[in-house]
Amino acid sequence: MSTLIRWEPAREMMTLREAMNHLFDDAYTRPLGMDGNVWSVPSIDMYQTDNEIVVKAALPGVKADEVQINITGEILTLKGEVKREEDVNEKTYHIREQRWGVFERSIALPTDVVADKAKAEFENGILTVTLPKAEEVRPKTITIKTK
């Protein structure tokens, strides 16, 4: 004996909507380029103050001398490599999420910067790049004189 199930198109559309939401969530919220054990896009935060742009990149397991920072026009590029630890054949991994391999991330800066005066600091796996804004894009205060 078979059971009849009433077909409800709205329910099917909701399923399609959920599938599309899941697709976009995966595409835009997970780090792009994670393919197996290759790490190509570190997570970043970028903000600006009146005088500078600050970019913070999470680079766990990376040494400061393994990171290359380039500024070309309004594009900041971070490149580097995380060395893979030696595999031990006697181990059986249950979970292996440590990232290793080459990484690269290019981001458009929101305004012109003075690349020659940029500073970079590395502490506890966080790279902080501070880029002074170009003088012509900094806010200016004009004093009003009274007569």
Distance separating alpha carbons of residues 30 and 142, to the nearest angstrom: 45
Q: What does pTM read for this prediction?
A: 0.63
Local structure of 119: helix, strand or coil: strand
Q: How many CA atoms lie within 13 A of 134 on its CB side?
A: 10
- pLDDT tens for each residue of 74-112: 899 999 887 776 666 667 777 777 767 788 889 999 989
The pLDDT score that the predictor gives to residue 38 is 47
Joined tokens for residue 96 = 């292996």
Joined tokens for residue 64 = 């400061």
The backbone torsions φ and ψ at residue 138, rounded to the nearest 5 degrees and listed phi first, read -75, 145
Joined tokens for residue 82 = 């995380």
Joined tokens for residue 124 = 């506890």
Local structure of 10: helix, strand or coil: helix
Joined tokens for residue 38 = 């290759």
- pLDDT tens for each residue of 2-37: 677 777 666 666 567 777 776 766 555 544 444 444
Q: Which of these, 85, 103, 90, lies nearest to 44 by C-alpha position?
A: 103
- Domain covering 32-85+99-137, topology: Immunoglobulin-like (2.60.40)
